């Protein structure tokens, strides 16, 4: 008999932080849970909310324009900050894309000179540039439950994110610009927090990462006996490999 699992996902600032199809990442998590009989509740977190962060298993924080980030930065830092930081330190599984990624760092210095403080969960900082880094991207990552995998996505950002010693790189950029267009780093990982610039949407294009995040959440909630049933992802893998073949010689 298949075990009955229930997971709870927090979708941070969906109205303000949702560009380039980022909402598709939540859809992918929900669908791949559904196919396995896992009940995934999705709870929107809006400015002014006071959620119990200890009750969540997964979280998603999408990208947004600088103006969108400015609208929610204070709420994130002052209202959500203490509970969210504690949950992330305790292993809450979070995926953050672009603007969400930037606000998990120490600060984001916009191209106009405005300094937006971040949560400081990730040892990174971001500096806005005058030239946008745009295009398809391939990042070679090594996911513990999967092994080496090439992730595909689409990036469009003017911010340059630089890593400190307190994070590990999510992967090596094989095609595209990556976090800053200089050092070949594509994304950052700290505990179960993953941040990167891969829009597109990232998770529908990369079922290996989707399942890795679900697996981490199951392990944290139910322990090592939790079983993530395999799924047929032949079509997703074919689409992924087609894009990799186009971009990486």
Catalytic site residue 98? yes
Q: How far apart are the first and last CA of the chain?
A: 46
The secondary element (H helix, E strand) that includes residue 103 is helix 99-103
* Angle formed at CA 34 by CA 28 and CA 35, multiple of 5 degrees: 95
Distance CA 84, CA 164 (A): 21
Q: Which of 11, 157, 177, 199 is catalytic?
A: 199
Q: Say how many CA atoms lie within 13 Å of 38 toward its Cβ.
A: 28
Q: Say how many CA atoms lie within 13 Å of 67 toward its Cβ.
A: 2
Other Cβ atoms closer than 10 A to 148 = 10
β-pair partners for 156 = 134
Are the beta carbons of 24 and 32 closer than 8 angstroms? Answer: no
Three-state DSSP at 19 gives coil
Q: Which of 98, 125, 157, 196 is catalytic?
A: 98
Q: Which one-letter DSSP state was computed for residue 239?
A: H
Q: Which residues are catalytic?
A: 98, 199
């Amino acid at each position: 008999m298949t075990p009955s699992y229930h997971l709870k996902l927090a979708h941070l600032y969906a109205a303000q932080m949702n560009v380039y199809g980022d909402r598709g990442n939540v859809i992918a998590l929900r669908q791949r849970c559904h196919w396995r009989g896992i009940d995934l509740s999705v709870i929107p977190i809006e400015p002014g909310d006071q959620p119990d962060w200890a009750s969540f298993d997964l979280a998603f924080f999408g990208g947004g324009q600088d103006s969108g980030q400015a609208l929610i930065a204070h709420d994130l830092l002052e209202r959500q900050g203490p509970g969210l930081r504690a949950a992330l330190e305790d292993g809450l599984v979070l995926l953050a894309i672009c603007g969400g990624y930037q606000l998990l760092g120490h600060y984001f210095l916009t191209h106009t000179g405005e300094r937006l403080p971040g949560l400081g969960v990730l040892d990174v900082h971001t500096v806005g540039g005058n030239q946008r880094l745009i295009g398809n991207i391939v990042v070679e990552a090594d996911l513990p439950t999967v092994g080496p995998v090439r992730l595909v996505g689409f990036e469009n950002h003017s911010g340059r994110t630089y890593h400190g010693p307190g994070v590990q790189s999510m992967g090596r950029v094989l095609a595209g610009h990556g976090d800053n267009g200089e050092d070949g780093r594509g994304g950052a990982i700290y505990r179960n927090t993953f941040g990167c610039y891969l829009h597109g949407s990232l998770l529908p294009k990369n079922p290996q990462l989707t399942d890795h995040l679900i697996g981490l959440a199951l392990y944290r909630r139910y322990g090592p006996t939790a079983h993530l049933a395999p799924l047929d992802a032949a079509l997703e893998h074919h689409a992924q490999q087609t894009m990799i073949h186009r971009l990486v010689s």
